[in-house]
Amino acid sequence: MSVDRVSTTSAPARQASSEILMDGLFTGMLGALVVALWFLILDLISGRPLYTPALLGTMLLHGGAAAAGTITIAPLEIAAYTAFHFITFVIVGTAFSWLMSLFDRFPIMFFVILVLAACLQIGFVAFSLALHFEAPMRLGLWSVIVANLLAAAAMGIYQARRHPGALKGVERLWEHTD
């Protein structure tokens, strides 16, 4: 008679992966929500609610030339961009969550995360300018940078609370051993 045995080593790995994915989902959704709220507030202040997702949705679906004229607030463009925006942030949030899981074990990952965050911010602006992507200019480059920094801060605070021991590891990196 044979007995099927379940390996106990694979269960924690699956659990860790599912935790990383769920954590990444929440992290990304939080970042996306912060950016969406930031631009909603700016749009409301300027008297044109939902202008930002309409502009970006028009560019996404119809190209930059279509967005050169007057932007119509249309549900399809707003929904398409909102979906793209949240999916992108969930991907970034999942990568961040995975890096934070490594950070728990390897405090040196702190520097990797900082460099990647800076590269994402600088790379987004440089990529937009190099391709003559009009959205940052039409929305105001400062507002895009502030939105990205707000999202990074919200995502970082959430992850820091999820991984309180990781920050203690960074403190150990700076300790001198004689």
Rounded to two decimals, the pTM is 0.80
* pLDDT value, residue 76: 94
Own/partner contacts of 165-174, CB < 8 Å, gap of 24 or more, are 165/104, 166/100, 166/103, 166/104, 166/107, 166/110, 169/103, 169/104, 169/107, 169/110, 170/107, 170/110, 172/107, 173/107, 173/108, 173/110
pLDDT value of position 132 = 57
Q: What pLDDT score does 8 carry?
A: 43
- The confidence score (pLDDT) of residue 142 equals 86
Could you state, in chain order, the average pLDDT of each consecutive group of 10 residues for the chain (178 residues)?
A: 45 66 95 96 95 89 75 91 94 93 82 87 75 69 89 93 78 64
Residue 7 is predicted with a pLDDT of 41
Q: What per-residue confidence (pLDDT) applies to 10?
A: 42
What is the C-alpha to C-alpha distance for residues 92 and 128, in angstroms, rounded to an integer? Answer: 18
Domain ranges of the chain: 27-174
Q: In the structure encoding, which two tokens stand for residue 77, read together?
A: 């463009």
Q: What is the structure's pLDDT at 131?
A: 58
pLDDT given for residue 5 in this prediction = 42
